[in-house]
C-alpha cells in the first residue's frame, strides 16, 4: 500500500542497489510506453503526467518523451598493462554499488582502485604506513579478489572458487550497506563484513580502472594490493560499468583522456601470438590477451623480446652499491631477480635496511649455497 509520503520510481532511482529487496543495482536503459498505476478505481497515467509537467512528477536526468535507439555501452580493451582510465571520485560514504563485465585470459591485473585522504601518523613504527580508506578489485593467479578498508584494517576476499581468466565474459556485482555487503561473480554471492565499527567508506581519489598512472607519488598504495606493487596492470576487455546504478561511458572517458593503450572495442585474436617465436636469447613465451609475454628470467637479458643484454657489475670484496629508495616502501609482495657468478663460497648478494623498522630481506652465499632471510 502506497502512502502520501511514499515514492514510486520508474526506470531507476538515485541508488537502485539500496532499494529494499532490490535484486539489481542498475537503472533501466531503453524505452517505456503507457506507464499507468492502477489501484481499484484509482488510476494515474504516469508517463502522460510526467510529459505534461505535473507537480506530482519529478523527472531526473536527460529523459526524452519519445523512443530512441539507446546505444549499448561500448566495451573497451586495455591493450597493455600500462593503460588505465581515471574515473571521477566515488562518493560512496555509507552505501554504494559497482557492477561491470570483464573478459581476459591473463591471470593478473588491477581492475579497480580508489583511496581516501592521507592521514598523518605520529612518529611511530606506523609512520611509514599511511592508513587510508580504500576500495579495490584485482585478479591474482586467475582469481578475483575484493579489498576493502574502512579505517580499521583491510579485508581481502577471494570472490571466486575457480579461475575466471578463461576468455569468457564474467559479471561482477558489488553492493555495500554500511559495514556489510556482498560481491557476486556470475551470480555466485560472497557476503562480507568490514573490520571495525565505521559504516563510512571515505574515498577521495579518482577511481582507477585497469591500472595506475606511472607517477604514483600522489597515491597511497596499501600493501595488500599486490597488483599495484608488482605492476600488474589489467589486459583484457571491460564493458557495462555501473556505479551506484548509473552507467559510465568508459569509452568516451578514454577518448577524452587521450589514454594510450585503450581501444574502443573488444576482440580476441585467434592466432597464437607465440607461434612466431618472438622471445630471443632463451626467453620463454606465453600467451596473453592479444599479445605475447616473454619471460626473460634466467637469460641475462631483458626487454619486450629479451633482446637487451643486462648490465654486468664486478666486485672485488671491498665494493658495494647503495640504492636509496625515493619513498619508504611497505609491501606484501615483491618480485626480485638477479644472476651471479662467483668462486667464493660466502658473500652478501643483496640486503634491505630501514631507519624506522627492523624489517629486512637478505640474500647471501653461505657455504656455496644461496640463503634467503626474511625478518618482518
Task: Tell me the domains of the chain and their CATH numbers.
Answer: 76-263 (2.60.120.200), 273-309 (2.10.25.10)
> Which residues touch 348 (CB under 8 Å, ≥6 apart)?
362, 363, 364, 365
Query: In this structure, what DSSP letter does residue 368 have?
Result: T
The pLDDT tens digits of the residues spanning 325-364 come to 877 778 888 888 888 999 999 999 999 888 888 888 899 9
CA 63 to chain centre: 32
The low-confidence residues of the chain, meaning pLDDT below 70, are 1-7, 14-26, 29, 60-62, 68-72, 119-130
Q: Please give the radius of gyration of the chain, using alpha carbons only, rounded to the nearest integer.
A: 26
Question: CB of 195 within 8 A of CB of 154?
Answer: yes
96 vs 321: CA distance, rounded Å:
49
**Residue-level pLDDT at 293:** 96
The pLDDT tens digits of the residues spanning 86-118 come to 999 999 889 999 999 999 999 999 999 999 987
Q: 298 exposed, middle or buried (CB, 10 Å; 0-12, 13-18, 19+)?
A: exposed
CB-CB neighbours of 143 under 10 Å: 18
Q: 284 exposed, middle or buried (CB, 10 Å; 0-12, 13-18, 19+)?
A: middle
b/e per residue 212-229 (b: at least 16 CB within 10 A): beeeeeebbbbebbbbbb
**Residue-level pLDDT at 70:** 56
**Residue-level pLDDT at 335:** 86
Query: In this structure, what DSSP letter does residue 67 have?
Result: -
**Residue-level pLDDT at 49:** 74
Amino acid at each position: 500500500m502506497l502512502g502520501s509520503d511514499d515514492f514510486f520510481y520508474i526506470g531507476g532511482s538515485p541508488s537502485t542497489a539500496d532499494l529494499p529487496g532490490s535484486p539489481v543495482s542498475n537503472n533501466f536503459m531503453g524505452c517505456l510506453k503507457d506507464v499507468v498505476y492502477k489501484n481499484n478505481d484509482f488510476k494515474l497515467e504516469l508517463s502522460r503526467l510526467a510529459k505534461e509537467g505535473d507537480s506530482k512528477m519529478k523527472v531526473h536526468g536527460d529523459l526524452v518523451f519519445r523512443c530512441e535507439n539507446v546505444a549499448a555501452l561500448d566495451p573497451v580493451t586495455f591493450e597493455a598493462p600500462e593503460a588505465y582510465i581515471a574515473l571521477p571520485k566515488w562518493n560512496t560514504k555509507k552505501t554504494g554499488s559497482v557492477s561491470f563485465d570483464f573478459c581476459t585470459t591473463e591471470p593478473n591485473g588491477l581492475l579497480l582502485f580508489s583511496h581516501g585522504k592521507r592521514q598523518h601518523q605520529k612518529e611511530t613504527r606506523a609512520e611509514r604506513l599511511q592508513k587510508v580508506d580504500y576500495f579495490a578489485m584485482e585478479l591474482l593467479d586467475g582469481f578475483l579478489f575484493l579489498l576493502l578498508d574502512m579505517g580499521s584494517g583491510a579485508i581481502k576476499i577471494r570472490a571466486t572458487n575457480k579461475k575466471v581468466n578463461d576468455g569468457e565474459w564474467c559479471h561482477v556485482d558489488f553492493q555495500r550497506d554500511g559495514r556489510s555487503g556482498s560481491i557476486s561473480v556470475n551470480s555466485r554471492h560472497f557476503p562480507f563484513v568490514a573490520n571495525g565499527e565505521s559504516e563510512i567508506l571515505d574515498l577521495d581519489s579518482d577511481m582507477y580502472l585497469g591500472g595506475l598512472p606511472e607517477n604514483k607519488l600522489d597515491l597511497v598504495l596499501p600493501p595488500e594490493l599486490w597488483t599495484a606493487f608488482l605492476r600488474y596492470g589489467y589486459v583484457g576487455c571491460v564493458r557495462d560499468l555501473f556505479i551506484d546504478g548509473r552507467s559510465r561511458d568508459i569509452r568516451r572517458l578514454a577518448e577524452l583522456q587521450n589514454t594510450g593503450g585503450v581501444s574502443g572495442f573488444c576482440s580476441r585474436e585467434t592466432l597464437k601470438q607465440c607461434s612466431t617465436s618472438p622471445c630471443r636469447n632463451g626467453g620463454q613465451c606465453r600467451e596473453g590477451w592479444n599479445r605475447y609475454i616473454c619471460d626473460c628470467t634466467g637469460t641475462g637479458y631483458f626487454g619486450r623480446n629479451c633482446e637487451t643484454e643486462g648490465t654486468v657489475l664486478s666486485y672485488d670484496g671491498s665494493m658495494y652499491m647503495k640504492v636509496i629508495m625515493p619513498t619508504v616502501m611497505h609491501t606484501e609482495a615483491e618480485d626480485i631477480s638477479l644472476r651471479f657468478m662467483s668462486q667464493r663460497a660466502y658473500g652478501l648478494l643483496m640486503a634491505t635496511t630501514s631507519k624506522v623498522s627492523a624489517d629486512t630481506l637478505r640474500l647471501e652465499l653461505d657455504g656455496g649455497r644461496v640463503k634467503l632471510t626474511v625478518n618482518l
